[in-house]
Amino acid sequence: MTAIKNILFIMADQLRWDYLSCYGHPHLHTPHIDRLAARGVRFDRAYVQSPVCGPSRASCYTGRTVFSHGATWNRVPLPVGELTLGDYLRPLGVRTAVVGKTHMVPDREGMTRLGLDSTSELGLRIGQPGFDPYERDDGLHPNPLLRRKGGSLAYNDWLRAQGYDGENPWNDYANAAEGPDGEILSGWLLKHSNLMARVKEEHSETAYMTMRAREFIEESGDTPWLCHLSYIKPHWPYIAPAPYHDMYGPESFLPVKRSEEERQDTHPVQAAFMNMEVGRVFSADGTRETVLPAYMGLIKQIDDHLGRLFAWLEETGRDRETMIVLTSDHGDYMGDHWMGEKELFHEQSVRVPLIVFDPRPEADATRGTACDALVEAIDLVPTFLEATGAPPVDHRLEGRSLMPLLRGEAPQDWRDAVFSEIDYAFYAARETLGIDVKDARGYMIRTDRWKYVYFRKFPPQLFDLLNDPDEFTDLGRHPDYEAVRRDMSDRLMDRLTGRRNRVTMTDEEVIALRRDESDSGIMIGKWG
Amino acid sequence: MTAIKNILFIMADQLRWDYLSCYGHPHLHTPHIDRLAARGVRFDRAYVQSPVCGPSRASCYTGRTVFSHGATWNRVPLPVGELTLGDYLRPLGVRTAVVGKTHMVPDREGMTRLGLDSTSELGLRIGQPGFDPYERDDGLHPNPLLRRKGGSLAYNDWLRAQGYDGENPWNDYANAAEGPDGEILSGWLLKHSNLMARVKEEHSETAYMTMRAREFIEESGDTPWLCHLSYIKPHWPYIAPAPYHDMYGPESFLPVKRSEEERQDTHPVQAAFMNMEVGRVFSADGTRETVLPAYMGLIKQIDDHLGRLFAWLEETGRDRETMIVLTSDHGDYMGDHWMGEKELFHEQSVRVPLIVFDPRPEADATRGTACDALVEAIDLVPTFLEATGAPPVDHRLEGRSLMPLLRGEAPQDWRDAVFSEIDYAFYAARETLGIDVKDARGYMIRTDRWKYVYFRKFPPQLFDLLNDPDEFTDLGRHPDYEAVRRDMSDRLMDRLTGRRNRVTMTDEEVIALRRDESDSGIMIGKWG
């Protein structure tokens, strides 16, 4: 099988699996992404390793669970000992870049301890994380945070060159609307979400990042590349430029999924999250009606830009040598389950779209098909390594290459459960629950039928996805389901004990060491 | 409480918990170690994190389980991101050294990736691991291995200076006996174990390492120090110099602990280990009779040298400012349970002596007492940090300071289960069982009454330590004990999910980040 030359790894932020027309949304038409699905494989049961930006992304880059890589939340540094996609592909001569968001911070303490200058080429690269520095932008630039970071932001410089003035045009234009008297209305406030952003569409973040991705690809020339085009949207602040701000009204919304049952005898952790401000606000009348138009418009906008990018790749012939992957780092409750944001393990939060287009003839058999195998975000790195012909790294990587599925094979030993987890020490919910920072952990395991969540210090949650696909009925404490919970607990144990901790020695080296030991003159248990 | 100035951290290799007179051995008198116990606290239920040298030691140095640090076996490099005792104590101005064995190899691949020169001061230190380079000697120097390493060995140089000749005096004198016709009989062969080593006692490894520890301590002058005096013995090769080679005969042996029941319907993993050469040889008549005299003599010799070292510390007044700890990295089956060596989780293998002498008045109340709290090797690093006044590092360290126990307190929330594990991919047993390298893992959890071992791909083991203290009856598949196994499995789950993976951010920083996030201008879920 010929190696893939380039990889376009597109991630939208906070994009629910069911907000694309190829995944069944009846009103939000995303024809360009749909066409990608028609040319590739649509994975219908793809899960993130943690329903939060930073840890989820770190798993996409390292190919390891959060349990293993340890960057358990946004701004928790990825330990300097972890390797990423960039580290794996660079030896092959692949130029790798992130264009947009990673939400990752470097392990400065670890770097200092190892004498690593964070301003050196290597030091800078570690902070990207592992990608070659190009156009990183985490997309959240309120004035206090921007000032704390020294005020520098490439997107702001560009906006100024387009005629947007001020210290922080991101804040004043991209993330703002205008009131009837010309006053600036902040995009941070949900009540403004259905207003038109002050930035022109062609100057918005989605347009800018798409342009920068194209520039990176063009600059790469004949050099193989991996472009991680990591859109900041449709993540909050929820505000869209015209014409995307008012394309969708209530008639085009998916119905809200929440039940009164969920408010009775609620699991303590879920109750604490439902009770956070974002949960209460998204459960209130009017919030979905105001926010969903922006959320859907931002998705529509991404689809339009991707359409242009895909067309350009085709025009230039690059599509024939480029694998294209589109996914998200997690979903968005949008008021479902009386929740806002993400963090917990309902499908709205933990399940994401995943489309993989492989241009090679070997993938012809699966074009336009859907795959319902249980796949995880950690499968991306092994997929990319296999696609580009890089050696496998299965003593470190915890996922599995999707390549057999892309060729239409159905491996008998494919996983029968997916895993995700949360470190919720960083939320008001932990304080409400009054538990120690170290105990604010939840671990999900989901099979074809069941979803089980183990919480430290609390009972588990259990949902029967066959009879309760909307996950309204928590069977975590129901006496009839003890055997199911036990089985799920055993699966979780298998998953945890299978963690790849021996990262410094390959399996082949283990076997060789045993042979080597017997050649070394060391004799154990020899009588004579 | 005044900080401790110095720490003498003594480790004997492969020393069973019950082969010291203070732990009840009726014939092997170890008066100097006993006196240490009389001045300190004897921990009667101390467990190693893995019953194998390398991983066990790495846990003693990092304060982390093998599950977390990843150096799962001898010669598996400790990942460059892991911190050790040296890293923690160096900022306090403490000089740290290993004198003797660590069995640890540096993570050269990780160092190379991070641009770290392995011959630089920092690079050398990482290879020690984390200690200042001084007198590392892993104690196993058969000719092929020594040649492969370039032939250099400080102990050999010293032996030559004492008049022992040849390329490898370790091999020809320290690890050899002489036959009736002057032929050299290798100490590698168990049938020679009861012969007199060709080296003089005062030139043997135990004498040499004790001398080197004393030199390190003297050279340190007024500088605070941690000396990890890490004896190579009584680990194999089992051969002792006169007069220690024939002090003990069968009348002084502990009776062998094995039962015919263990050979019926044996757990597959235990059966595979019993069937390895070392298990078969130690189960054969004559082996214990030949090996135990050397094993016991080597322990007696260590006790004598420690007596002289302790006396010198007292003469020089150093004992008043020095914490002294004596322990081992694991035990030795010595034919018990039809096994040789260690690796599995019977008490003979996984339980070790642990004596802690704290010179400060606050510890007066506990002098000469025994403590039956369940303690683990990972408790040593936090103990050393608290003793020296170093800040706690509880986002990384997985153990708990023993200091309250040394002061006679009985913390209500002390752990009620200890944990240990094995990566047995490196043994013939794995091949016999025909399982994948990745699945050759076992995890033990032991409470006051029960010991449970979870094996990947195999049923668990369960022993009732109350009714079966010798661990002859494996209840792992007995239908009456399902509830006990479930409880133990839950405890194991609690232990695994409590692993410290967020090593790059302290708990205090987590809490501060939450506050900081709200000052940054980022607003989540605000309506207006």
CA-nearest residue to A284 within chain B is: B527
Interchain pair A145, B486: CB under 8 A: no
Which of A288, A398, A432, A437 has the most B C-beta neighbours within 10 Å, making it the best mutation to test the interface with B? Answer: A437
Residue B55 has pLDDT above 90, yes or no: yes
Report the pLDDT averaged over residues B273-281. Answer: 97
pLDDT confidence of residue B443: 98
pLDDT confidence of residue A294: 98
Nearest-10 crossing angle of helices A53-62, A380-388: 30
For residue B499, name the pLDDT band (cuts at 50, 70, 90): very high
Residue B227 has pLDDT above 90, yes or no: yes
Residue B517 has pLDDT above 90, yes or no: no
Is there a contact between B372 and B320 (Cβ–Cβ < 8 Å)?
A: no
Cβ-Cβ contacts under 8 Å, A142 against chain B: 520-523
Which ipTM value was assigned to this complex?
A: 0.96
HSE-up (13 A, CA, CB side) for residue A486? 12
For residue range A442-500, list pLDDT tens digits in order.
999 999 999 999 999 999 999 999 999 999 999 999 999 999 999 999 999 999 999 99
Which of B195, B342, B437 has the most A C-beta neighbours within 10 Å, making it the best mutation to test the interface with A? Answer: B437
pLDDT confidence of residue A515: 78
Residue A104 has pLDDT above 90, yes or no: no
State the amino acid at position A322 in one-letter form. Answer: T
Is there a contact between B525 and A191 (Cβ–Cβ < 8 Å)?
A: no
Is there a contact between A324 and A10 (Cβ–Cβ < 8 Å)?
A: yes
Task: Output the furthest CA–CA distance in chain A (Å, rounded).
Answer: 97
For residue range B444-491, list pLDDT tens digits in order.
999 999 999 999 999 999 999 999 999 999 999 999 999 999 999 999
Report the pLDDT averaged over residues B207-213. Answer: 98
Nearest CB to B190 within list A76, A502, A527? A527
Report the pLDDT averaged over residues B501-507. Answer: 97
pLDDT confidence of residue B118: 87
Q: What's the CA gap between B314 and B316, in Å, rounded?
A: 5
Residue A518 has pLDDT above 80, yes or no: no
Report the pLDDT averaged over residues B404-423. Answer: 97
Q: What is the distance in angstroms between the Cα of B521 and the nearest Cα belonging to chain A?
A: 5
Judge whether A510 is closer than 8 Å to chain B, CB to CB. yes
Q: What is the distance in angstroms between the Cα of A315 and the nearest Cα belonging to chain B?
A: 39
What is the residue extent of each domain of chain A?
Answer: 6-416
Q: For chain A, what is the mean pLDDT?
A: 96
- Exposed e or buried b for every residue in A89-124, given b needs 16+ CB within 10 A? bbeeebbbbbbbbbbbbbbbebbebbebeeeeeebe
Contacts for B524 with CB less than 8 Å, ≥ 6 apart: A236, A277, A278, A340, A341
pLDDT confidence of residue A250: 96
Percent of chain A surpassing pLDDT 90 = 95
For residue range A267-280, list pLDDT tens digits in order.
999 999 999 999 99
Percent of chain B surpassing pLDDT 90 = 95
* More reliable by pLDDT, B323 or A121: B323
For residue B514, name the pLDDT band (cuts at 50, 70, 90): confident
pTM (2 d.p.): 0.97
Report the pLDDT averaged over residues A416-445. Answer: 97
For residue B306, name the pLDDT band (cuts at 50, 70, 90): very high
Is there a contact between B16 and B331 (Cβ–Cβ < 8 Å)?
A: yes
Contacts for B301 with CB less than 8 Å, ≥ 6 apart: B201, B204, B206, B233, B240, B241, B244
Q: How many CB pairs under 8 A join A and B?
A: 230
Can you read off the two tokens belonging to residue A71?
């960057």
Percent of chain A surpassing pLDDT 70 = 100
Residue B103 has pLDDT above 90, yes or no: no
Judge whether B75 is closer than 8 Å to chain A, CB to CB. yes
Judge whether B494 is closer than 8 Å to chain A, CB to CB. yes
CA-nearest residue to B511 within chain A is: A426
For residue range B124-138, list pLDDT tens digits in order.
998 888 998 899 999
For residue range B291-303, list pLDDT tens digits in order.
999 999 999 999 9
Which of B288, B501, B517, B522 has the most A C-beta neighbours within 10 Å, making it the best mutation to test the interface with A? Answer: B501
Interchain pair A504, B189: CB under 8 A: no
Query: Could you confirm whether domain B6-416 is CATH 3.40.720.10?
Result: yes
Contacts for B516 with CB less than 8 Å, ≥ 6 apart: none
Can you read off the two tokens belonging to residue B511?
């809490």
CA-nearest residue to B123 within chain A is: A114
For residue range A168-218, list pLDDT tens digits in order.
999 999 999 999 999 999 999 999 999 999 999 999 999 999 999 999 999
CA-nearest residue to B510 within chain A is: A426
pLDDT confidence of residue A28: 98
For residue B1, name the pLDDT band (cuts at 50, 70, 90): confident
Report the pLDDT averaged over residues B303-318. Answer: 98
Can you read off the two tokens belonging to residue A278?
């974002």
Q: Of B475, B425, B479, give the one whose Cα is nearest residue B453.
A: B475
Can you read off the two tokens belonging to residue B257?
């602990």
Contacts for A150 with CB less than 8 Å, ≥ 6 apart: none
Q: For chain B, what is the mean pLDDT?
A: 96
For residue A128, name the pLDDT band (cuts at 50, 70, 90): confident
Q: What is the distance in angstroms between the Cα of A137 and the nearest Cα belonging to chain B?
A: 15
Cβ-Cβ contacts under 8 Å, B499 against chain A: 67
Q: What is the distance in angstroms between the Cα of B191 and the nearest Cα belonging to chain A?
A: 5
